């Protein structure tokens, strides 16, 4: 089987209608989020950007706001959701270049004097001068400049609707009501055709690399190996470890199974007496360490004896218990946790590089305040030092990048600094560049590495796993990774996960699928990113085009260089400046909806490096002197 061609692009062009038989089209495709939002239509790879949301009164669909289901049924992408007791079934089908058909079905389980339907959102700054025209059956948005039409968005409705428009500082919002008021048991439908066109930018991108100012070291791509699926995890883990250069690992400490009874002494157990999940987690750590990678041990679930059952501050977040630990048992707690790390070292030969509670800013599942986080770092750090461990603490390991205040007390406490081995955040939900720089500054202040302890974009995607096969999902994920590597220079991004959970592979029983394990576009993206030369430092790099995201690396001692580029737009040429002019080998790797790490060679012209960038693709240039 040719695994590098996992997706078909399209089969034919008839009467100017592009019939999309592929799982996803690379250049002409409506971007559909799992929660039903449309984020634009691509024409020749150029994103004609807008956003739609499903709406009930003032409540809008969005990431992790409600419970969604997503699936692909042939050419249709189907999102089902319930917002404020109104169920939406949305079907989106690409019908021609720059055109899609949207079918909405609504069913109300409540009676309220509010509307339910769809909203079109436009960036207020970008569309400030746009012409917006509405009739009961059509919405037209046209943005022009001196050179002609920049964007043209049309919506045609299957029946008359009463459109309303509002303008704020950030966005223009146009509401398309499907139900003008809600009645329990009522249903309604609306079909619409959405067409988008505009200027396609094929201009060259100038990529400038500065080899004279190497930044932080990059060990390589890492992975999480929290074992959750006994039937499917082993094969996926084997495949990933055989085919991806994994440089960093993170495993679970099953504390609840390790020490369920406070009066027990688990250190006295023999390995074959350990609970199965504990033993398998330790063996996973051993396997990763045997491959030469540092290992992070993180804890999710505390035993009941360690939980403060009287705390009025105990909370919940999206159904996950946020357990506060019993402050009266702090010494017993750190002793129990350290026992596990000592046992792992003595019986499995693994000295964990770092330890953390997973996402304790939210309580997944231990909840700390910023001050408690700083205090725990000191208490646990002292205990590990007293017991002869070199293991240090992760500062942060937060649920995403935004809770930067969570690490401030520890940053401001010199007594905590000797016990901090790295700073970590998780990349769920994305973030802006300014926030990424805050994390980089925190690591620089302490003189320790920065890690992305869990990498990906959608923490709820396990509920609708078909989204993992969509090219749009793969593009957003790799674009975030490359941007983080450039802006905050983490030592590693530990992808969530290299197991069957959020799997990079399809088939083999993963998500209930059949057939042999097959790599998805996301797998090729991660493998390609992991091809960064070992021993590299991050290099400053910039692009002349906003649609091209870049990160550069160099092993200056060996004369090896690498430039990763995510082309979020139409096909263009990249002109690479700043790299050595003479090299003995050069290769280009391309991953997109059609190709998985398709390799070609590069020949310079007049000492210049120029390479074509296919639309909506991840492209890597690797040079060796």
Instruction: Give the pLDDT confidence score for residue 17 in this predicted structure.
Output: 29
Q: CB-side exposure of 149: number of CA atoms within 13 Å?
A: 10
| Those residues with Cβ within 8 angstroms of residue 302's Cβ, 6 or more apart along the chain or in another chain | 255, 256, 323, 325, 365, 366
Instruction: Give the pLDDT confidence score for residue 276 in this predicted structure.
Output: 98
pLDDT greater than 70 at residue 4? no
Q: End of a domain among 474, 500, 531?
A: 531
Give the mean pLDDT of 64-84: 94
* Residue 100 and residue 24 in one domain: yes
Would 536 be classed as within a structural domain? no
Would 555 be classed as within a structural domain? yes
Residue indicated by tokens 């690409």 = 94
pLDDT greater than 80 at residue 522? yes
Phi, psi (deg, nearest 5) at residue 253? -100, 110
Please tell me the distance from the alpha carbon of residue 307 to that of residue 302, in angstroms, as a whole number: 7
Query: 67 exposed, middle or buried (CB, 10 Å; 0-12, 13-18, 19+)?
Result: middle
Please tell me the distance from the alpha carbon of residue 56 to that of residue 114, in angstroms, as a whole number: 7
Band of residue 28 on the pLDDT scale cut at 50, 70, 90: low
* Residue 28 and residue 176 in one domain: yes
Band of residue 581 on the pLDDT scale cut at 50, 70, 90: confident
pLDDT greater than 50 at residue 23? no
Would 243 be classed as within a structural domain? yes
* Residue 307 and residue 387 in one domain: yes
pLDDT greater than 80 at residue 16? no
Report which of 132, 191, 153 is spatially closest to residue 49, judged by C-alpha positions: 153
* Residue 132 and residue 228 in one domain: no
| Those residues with Cβ within 8 angstroms of residue 72's Cβ, 6 or more apart along the chain or in another chain | 23, 78, 466, 469, 470
SS3 56: strand
pLDDT greater than 90 at residue 13? no
Instruction: Give the pLDDT confidence score for residue 309 in this predicted structure.
Output: 87
Strands 46-48 and 17-19: unpaired
Q: End of a domain among 531, 558, 589?
A: 531
**Is the previous residue joined to 121 through a cis bond, with omega within 30 degrees of 0?**
no
Count of other CB atoms within 10 angstroms of residue 24: 26
Instruction: Give the pLDDT confidence score for residue 315 in this predicted structure.
Output: 53
Tens digit of pLDDT for each residue in 382-410? 999 999 999 999 999 999 999 999 999 99
CATH number of the CATH domain containing 137: 2.70.98
Strands 59-60 and 51-56: antiparallel
Strand pairing partners for 60?
55
* Residue 98 and residue 148 in one domain: yes
Please tell me the distance from the alpha carbon of residue 26 to that of residue 44, in angstroms, as a whole number: 8
Instruction: Give the pLDDT confidence score for residue 19 in this predicted structure.
Output: 29
Would 364 be classed as within a structural domain? yes
Instruction: Give the pLDDT confidence score for residue 310 in this predicted structure.
Output: 85
Structure tokens at 119: 């909203």
Longest dimension (CA), the chain: 79
Structure tokens at 293: 């990678």
pLDDT greater than 90 at residue 12? no
Would 4 be classed as within a structural domain? no
Helix (H) or strand (E) holding 278: helix 276-290
Instruction: Give the pLDDT confidence score for residue 524 in this predicted structure.
Output: 98
Q: End of a domain among 476, 500, 531?
A: 531
* Residue 438 and residue 559 in one domain: no
Would 38 be classed as within a structural domain? yes
Structure tokens at 613: 């960038």
Please tell me the distance from the alpha carbon of residue 356 to that of residue 321, in angstroms, as a whole number: 18
Tens digit of pLDDT for each residue in 440-454? 999 999 999 999 999
Give the mean pLDDT of 186-193: 98
* Residue 398 and residue 448 in one domain: yes
- Alpha-carbon distances, residue 610 vs 3, 337, 560, 586 (angstroms): 28, 54, 18, 12
Strands 536-539 and 548-555: antiparallel
Phi, psi (deg, nearest 5) at residue 621? -110, 125
Task: Please give the model's pTM, rounded to 2 decimal places.
Answer: 0.94
Give the mean pLDDT of 507-512: 96
Instruction: Give the pLDDT confidence score for residue 20 in this predicted structure.
Output: 31
* Contact present, 186 and 113 (Cβ < 8 Å): no
* Residue 63 and residue 172 in one domain: yes
Left (φ > 0), alpha (ψ -120 to 50) or beta: where does 512 sit?
left
Between helix 433-446 and helix 471-487 the angle, nearest 10°, is: 40
In which order are the strands placed within the sheet that holds 131-135?
A: 68-73, 76-83, 86-96, 99-108, 187-198, 148-157, 138-145, 131-135
Please tell me the distance from the alpha carbon of residue 457 to that of residue 505, in angstroms, as a whole number: 17
* Residue 579 and residue 468 in one domain: no
Would 453 be classed as within a structural domain? yes
Instruction: Give the pLDDT confidence score for residue 321 in this predicted structure.
Output: 75
* Residue 383 and residue 469 in one domain: yes
SS3 content of the chain, % helix, strand, coil (to 5): 20, 40, 40
Would 604 be classed as within a structural domain? yes
Structure tokens at 198: 């505009």
- By residue range, what is the domain housing residue 593? 545-624
Stretch among 14-23, 466-475, 491-500 having the lowest mean pLDDT? 14-23
Instruction: Give the pLDDT confidence score for residue 625 in this predicted structure.
Output: 84
* Contact present, 579 and 608 (Cβ < 8 Å): no
* Residue 25 and residue 104 in one domain: yes
The per-residue DSSP string of 97-138 comes to: TTEEEEEEEEEESS-BSS-EEEEEEEETTTTTT-EEEEETTE
Q: What is the mean pLDDT of the chain?
A: 93
pLDDT greater than 60 at residue 296? yes
Report which of 185, 262, 204, 212 is spatially closest to residue 539, judged by C-alpha positions: 212
Tens digit of pLDDT for each residue in 304-314? 999 998 875 55
Number of domains in the chain: 3
CA dihedral 50, 53, 57, 63 (to 10 degrees): -130
Tens digit of pLDDT for each residue in 123-161? 999 999 999 999 999 999 999 999 999 999 999 999 999
Long-range (24+ apart) CB contacts under 8 A made by 138-144 are 139/163, 139/174, 139/176, 141/50, 143/198
* Residue 470 and residue 390 in one domain: yes
pLDDT greater than 90 at residue 25? no
* Contact present, 453 and 422 (Cβ < 8 Å): no
Query: 516 exposed, middle or buried (CB, 10 Å; 0-12, 13-18, 19+)?
Result: exposed
CATH number of the CATH domain containing 577: 2.60.40.1180
* Contact present, 46 and 82 (Cβ < 8 Å): no
């Amino acid at each position: 089987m040719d695994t590098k061609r996992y997706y078909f692009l399209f089969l034919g062009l008839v009467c100017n209608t592009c019939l999309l038989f592929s799982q996803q089209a690379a250049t002409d495709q409506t971007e559909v989020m799992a929660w039903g939002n449309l984020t634009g239509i691509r024409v020749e790879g150029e994103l004609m950007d807008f956003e739609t949301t499903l709406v009930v009164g003032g409540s809008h669909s969005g990431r992790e706001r409600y419970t969604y289901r997503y699936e692909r049924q042939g050419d249709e992408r189907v999102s089902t959701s319930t917002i404020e007791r109104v169920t939406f079934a949305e079907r989106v089908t690409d019908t021609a270049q720059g055109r899609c058909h949207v079918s909405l079905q609504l069913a109300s389980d409540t009676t309220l004097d509010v509307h339910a339907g769809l909203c079109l959102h436009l960036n207020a700054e970008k569309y400030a001068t746009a012409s917006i025209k509405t009739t009961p059956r059509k919405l037209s948005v046209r943005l022009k400049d001196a050179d002609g039409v920049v964007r043209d968005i049309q919506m045609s409705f299957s029946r008359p609707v009463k459109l309303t428009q509002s303008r704020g500082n950030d966005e223009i919002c146009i509401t398309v009501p499907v139900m003008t008021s809600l009645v329990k048991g009522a249903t309604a439908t609306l079909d619409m055709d959405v067409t988008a066109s505009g200027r396609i930018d094929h201009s060259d991108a100038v990529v400038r690399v500065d080899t004279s100012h190497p930044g932080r070291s990059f060990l390589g791509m890492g992975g999480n190996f929290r074992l959750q699926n006994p039937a499917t995890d082993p094969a996926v883990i084997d495949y990933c470890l055989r085919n991806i250069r994994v440089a960093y690992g993170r495993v679970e400490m099953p504390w609840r199974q390790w020490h369920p009874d406070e009066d027990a002494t688990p250190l006295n157990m023999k390995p074959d007496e350990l609970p199965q999940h504990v033993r398998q987690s330790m063996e996973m750590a051993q396997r990763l360490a045997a491959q030469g990678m540092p290992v992070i041990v993180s804890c999710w679930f505390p035993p009941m004896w360690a939980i403060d059952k009287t705390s009025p501050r105990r909370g919940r977040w999206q159904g996950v218990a946020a357990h506060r630990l019993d402050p009266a048992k702090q010494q017993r707690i750190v002793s129990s946790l350290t026992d596990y790390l000592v046992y792992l070292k003595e019986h499995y030969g693994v000295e964990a590089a770092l330890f953390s509670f997973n996402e304790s800013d939210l309580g997944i599942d231990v909840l700390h305040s910023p001050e408690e986080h700083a205090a725990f770092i000191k208490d646990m750090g002292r205990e590990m030092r007293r017991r002869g461990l070199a293991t240090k603490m992760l500062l942060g390991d937060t649920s995403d990048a935004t809770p930067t205040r969570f690490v401030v007390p520890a940053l401001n406490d010199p007594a905590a600094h000797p016990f901090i081995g790295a700073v970590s955040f998780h990349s769920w939900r994305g973030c802006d560049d300014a926030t990424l720089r805050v994390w980089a500054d925190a690591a620089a202040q302490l003189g320790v590495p920065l890690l992305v302890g869990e990498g990906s974009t959608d923490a709820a995607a396990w509920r609708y796993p078909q989204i993992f096969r969509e090219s749009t999902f793969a593009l957003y994920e790799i674009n975030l990774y490359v941007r983080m590597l450039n802006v905050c220079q983490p030592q590693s991004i530990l992808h969530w996960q290299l197991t069957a959970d959020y799997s990079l592979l399809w088939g083999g029983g993963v998500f209930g699928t059949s057939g042999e394990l097959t790599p998805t576009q996301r797998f090729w993206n991660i493998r390609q990113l992991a091809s960064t030369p070992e021993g590299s430092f991050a290099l400053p790099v910039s692009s002349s085009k906003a649609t091209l995201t870049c990160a550069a690396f160099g092993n200056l001692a060996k004369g090896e260089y690498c430039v990763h580029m995510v082309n979020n737009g139409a096909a263009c040429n990249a002109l690479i400046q700043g790299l050595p002019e003479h090299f003995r080998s050069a290769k280009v790797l391309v991953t997109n909806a059609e190709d998985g790490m398709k390799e070609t060679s590069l020949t310079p012209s007049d000492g210049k490096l120029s390479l074509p960038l296919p639309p909506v693709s991840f492209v890597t240039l690797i040079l060796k002197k």
